């Protein structure tokens, strides 16, 4: 069961819900939000503060350990195999991850919600077409399609975004379809129909608002998986042009120096891991909230 299945499934009463009466407030609960905030700030403003030239090389400044002095200042996280600053790679990589992650979630969310809502509301042929497409895409691992698409087509950020969205919209479509199907049967939808509200207006004004919470929860989870998939693709050397800095690419670059210069691989990977865990924590929290309050 993937995360989207949890959202799709009918909310079940949690067996342990009765036991703890009232949890006292945990100050740590805010931590993931704070960390994601720091990442966002870094992605937005970091590139203005840190200079990075992806094609510059420095023979003297190669493979310096963290904290070394270089010609341009202190390399807090060390330098890589051609003398580029690892900290700068982490900062620029954050920007790439967010741009691609957010674009993928936005694109696949838009397509998925639209198709899912149409399938759930109109049923019959539209539902058949969307559901069978979902079945097909569910059966085949999305990362493989992404590898084939981003590896064979011309390199570019937009290609990576499209490649990851091809499989990404399915979760949104399943979720929207199932919520639309149950909301369609509610009294206010009948009332709208009797009052002569058109079908598109009913769908957008009386049904779509009920998708919002669950879709946002799913979007958070999908953001984590898009960031992860992008890193995996650039780790494999597929998709992004070589001059776009990305964590996956830095991790791959550091593999050759693993025994002597661990910092090239460890820091970008750590940056990726912490971000994905924090987004996952937030997504989990949102999922729990919206599966409980639905209906």
Distance CA 265, CA 256 (A): 10
Return the number of the residue (106 or 257) whose C-beta is nearest other proteins: 257
Distance CA 113, CA 169 (A): 8
Q: How far is the CB of 235 from other proteins (least distance, A)?
A: 6
Handedness of CA 158, 162, 164, 169 (dihedral sign): positive
The first and second tokens of residue 207, run together, are: 């049904």
Q: 201 with 31: CB under 8 angstroms?
A: no
Q: How far is the CB of 229 from other proteins (least distance, A)?
A: 10
Return the number of the residue (83 or 248) whose C-beta is nearest other proteins: 248
Quick one: which of 234, 204, 235, 216 has its CA closest to 279?
216
Cross-strand partners of 79: 85
Provide DSSP, 31-57.
HHHHHHHHHHHHHHHHHHHS---TT--
Q: How far is the CB of 155 from other proteins (least distance, A)?
A: 10
In terms of C-beta density within 10 A (0-12 exposed, 13-18 middle, 19 or more buried), how is residue 11 classed?
A: middle
Q: How far is the CB of 265 from other proteins (least distance, A)?
A: 6
Q: How far is the CB of 165 from other proteins (least distance, A)?
A: 14
Binding residues for other proteins, rule: CB under 8 A, are 1, 15-16, 19-20, 132-133, 135-145, 147-149, 151-154, 224, 228, 231-232, 235-238, 251, 255, 258-259, 262, 265-266, 269, 272-273, 276-277, 279-281, 284
Return the number of the residue (202 or 234) whose C-beta is nearest other proteins: 234
Residues 6 or more apart in contact with residue 83 via CB below 8 angstroms: 56, 57, 58, 59, 60, 61, 62, 63, 64, 70
Q: How far is the CB of 292 from other proteins (least distance, A)?
A: 14
Cα–Cα distances (Å) from 239 to 27, 107, 224, 256, in that order, read: 41, 18, 19, 21
Return the number of the residue (101 or 269) whose C-beta is nearest other proteins: 269
Distance CA 279, CA 267 (A): 18
Q: How far is the CB of 258 from other proteins (least distance, A)?
A: 6
Q: How far, rounded to the nearest angstrom, does the alpha carbon of residue 192 sit from its chain's CA centroid?
A: 36
Return the number of the residue (91 or 146) whose C-beta is nearest other proteins: 146
What is the number of other CB atoms lying within 10 angstroms of the CB of residue 270? 14
Return the number of the residue (112 or 283) whose C-beta is nearest other proteins: 283
Return the number of the residue (58 or 284) whose C-beta is nearest other proteins: 284
């Amino acid at each position: 069961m993937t995360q989207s299945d949890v959202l799709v499934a009918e909310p079940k009463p949690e067996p342990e819900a009765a036991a703890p009466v009232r949890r006292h407030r945990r100050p740590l609960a805010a931590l993931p939000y704070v960390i994601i905030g720091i990442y966002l700030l870094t992605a937005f403003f970091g590139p203005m503060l840190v200079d990075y030239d992806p094609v510059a090389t420095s023979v003297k400044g190669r493979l310096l350990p963290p904290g070394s002095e270089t010609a341009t200042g202190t390399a807090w996280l060390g330098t890589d195999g051609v003398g580029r600053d690892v900290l700068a790679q982490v900062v620029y990589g954050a920007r790439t991850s967010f741009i691609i992650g957010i674009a993928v979630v936005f694109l696949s969310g838009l397509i998925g919600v639209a198709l899912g809502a149409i399938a759930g509301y109109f049923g019959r042929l539209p539902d058949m077409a969307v559901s069978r497409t979902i079945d097909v895409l569910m059966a085949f691992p999305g990362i493989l399609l992404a590898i084939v698409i981003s590896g064979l087509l011309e390199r570019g950020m937009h290609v990576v975004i499209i490649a990851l969205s091809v499989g990404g919209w399915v979760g949104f479509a399943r979720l929207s379809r199932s919520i639309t199907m149950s909301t369609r049967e509610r009294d206010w939808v009948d009332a709208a129909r009797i009052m002569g509200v058109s079908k598109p207006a009913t769908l957008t004004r009386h049904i779509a608002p009920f998708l919002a919470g669950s879709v946002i929860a799913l979007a958070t989870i999908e953001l984590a998986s898009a960031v992860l998939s992008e890193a995996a693709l650039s780790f494999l050397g597929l998709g992004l042009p070589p001059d776009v800095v990305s964590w996956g690419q830095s991790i791959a670059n550091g593999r050759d120096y693993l025994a002597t210069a661990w910092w090239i691989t460890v820091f970008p990977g750590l940056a990726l891991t912490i971000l994905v865990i924090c987004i996952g924590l937030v997504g989990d929290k949102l999922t729990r909230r919206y599966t409980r309050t639905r209906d």
